[in-house]
Amino acid sequence: MSNDIVKAIEEKYKNMGQDPNTYLKGLLHSKLINYWDYVEVDTLLSLQKPRTDFTDEPIFIMYHQVTELLLKLITHEIKQIVDNENIDTAIFANKIDRINRYSGILTESFAVMREGMDYDQYNQFRLTLAPASGFQSAQFRFIELYCTDAHLLVNSRVKAQVNADSDMNYLFDNLYWKDAGLDHKTGKKTLTLSQFEDRYIDSLKATATKYKGKNIYNRFLKLNASDEKVKALKTALRNFDHTYNVVWPLSHLKTAEYYLNSKGENKAATGGSEWQKYLHPSYQRRIFFPELWTKEEIENWGK
């Protein structure tokens, strides 16, 4: 070990008020790291817990676990944008490029679901999953709130009546995704929605409040629009908005149509939602960055 490295180590720990010798001696007892321990391979491969003996159920579980990891990768990049008030435009663009890469994998990966499971097996083991539903993916909801303000995520019935200053509780009562689990005539919620809200609604509201005016959309709007780097960033953000809010939902919808309605059965989703409407982007009209789109593009969203 060179003297420069030893000196750097000593300075590092002295700056933290620590005795460098303690840490250097600790190296004598440290075990060498290996791939399987670092990546926690054994733990990772033990996380699949099928509820039936159908051989294709583990595929369903692993696919959704991979999806959650991709959502975590997206969140990892998003947080570096929204938690940095003075983020450099080049770094902003780099993070969005990474997010677009992960989002692209999400859309392409639906072939695993659409073509990778036996039709009859799926329609048997899925019956054991109620009331669980992909609707309950909290990471998906948090990403929405990191990307844009809550008033842009309400259902179409009230969207024209709200703005950034509207009451947060009112906005949350009218979020678009509640249409998947709420009967507006009776006010009754599905068990799927009730369970999700019991677990996550407080933290979702806290996130919406914390990042109001500080989310990706607002970070972008504060940049100099005439900057060439900002123009390139605008294109990248449009790509993300379209991939996440149009291409991915349509991929999901086509998969659902294959398993739930390809023979005209119109089977119910495990969470009880009207999945044809809930999944179709032209019905949801979820747009993170509306000022980046023309009026015509917004009117034809998802068509």
Is the per-residue pLDDT at 275 higher than 70? no
Residue closest to 152 by CA, chosen among 75, 96, 215:
215
Instruction: Assess if residue 104 is contained within a domain.
Output: yes
pLDDT of residue 91: 96
Confidence of residue 218 (pLDDT cuts 50, 70, 90): very high
Mean pLDDT, rounded, for 46-59: 97
Instruction: Assess if residue 42 is contained within a domain.
Output: no
Give the residue numbers spanning the domain of 125: 60-299
For the stretch 79-84, contacts whose Cβ atoms lie closer than 8 Å and that sit 24 or more positions apart, written own/partner, are: 79/146, 81/216, 81/219, 82/146, 82/211, 82/214, 82/215, 82/216, 82/219
Confidence of residue 181 (pLDDT cuts 50, 70, 90): confident
Residue closest to 153 by CA, chosen among 236, 69, 215, 92:
215
Instruction: Assess if residue 158 is contained within a domain.
Output: yes
pLDDT of residue 294: 97
Burial 198-209 (b: 16+ CB within 10 A, else e): eeeeeebbebbe
Instruction: Assess if residue 27 is contained within a domain.
Output: no
Mean pLDDT, rounded, for 85-112: 95
Question: Treating both helix axes as pointing N-terminal to C-terminal, what angle do 248-261 and 89-108 enclose, rounded to 10 degrees?
Answer: 10
Record the tokens describing residue 91, joined without a space: 């770094």
**Spatial distance between the Cα atoms of 42 and 84, rounded to a whole number of angstroms:** 36
Summarised one tens digit per residue, pLDDT across range 103-129 is 999 999 988 988 999 999 999 999 999
pLDDT of residue 273: 64
Instruction: Assess if residue 126 is contained within a domain.
Output: yes
Mean pLDDT, rounded, for 86-107: 96
Summarised one tens digit per residue, pLDDT across range 221-267 is 999 888 889 999 999 999 999 999 999 999 988 888 888 877 767 67
Query: 3-17, 49-63, 191-205, 237-251: which has the minimum mean pLDDT?
Result: 3-17
Instruction: Assess if residue 31 is contained within a domain.
Output: no
Task: Give the CATH number, domain containing residue 130.
Answer: 1.20.58
Mean pLDDT, rounded, for 179-203: 91
Confidence of residue 198 (pLDDT cuts 50, 70, 90): very high
Instruction: Assess if residue 292 is contained within a domain.
Output: yes
Q: Kindly report the length of the chain.
A: 303
Instruction: Assess if residue 2 is contained within a domain.
Output: no
DSSP class per residue in 170-199? HHHHTBGGGGGTB-TTT-PBPHHHHHHHHH
Is the per-residue pLDDT at 28 higher than 90? no
pLDDT of residue 65: 98
Domains identified in the chain, total number = 1
Confidence of residue 271 (pLDDT cuts 50, 70, 90): low
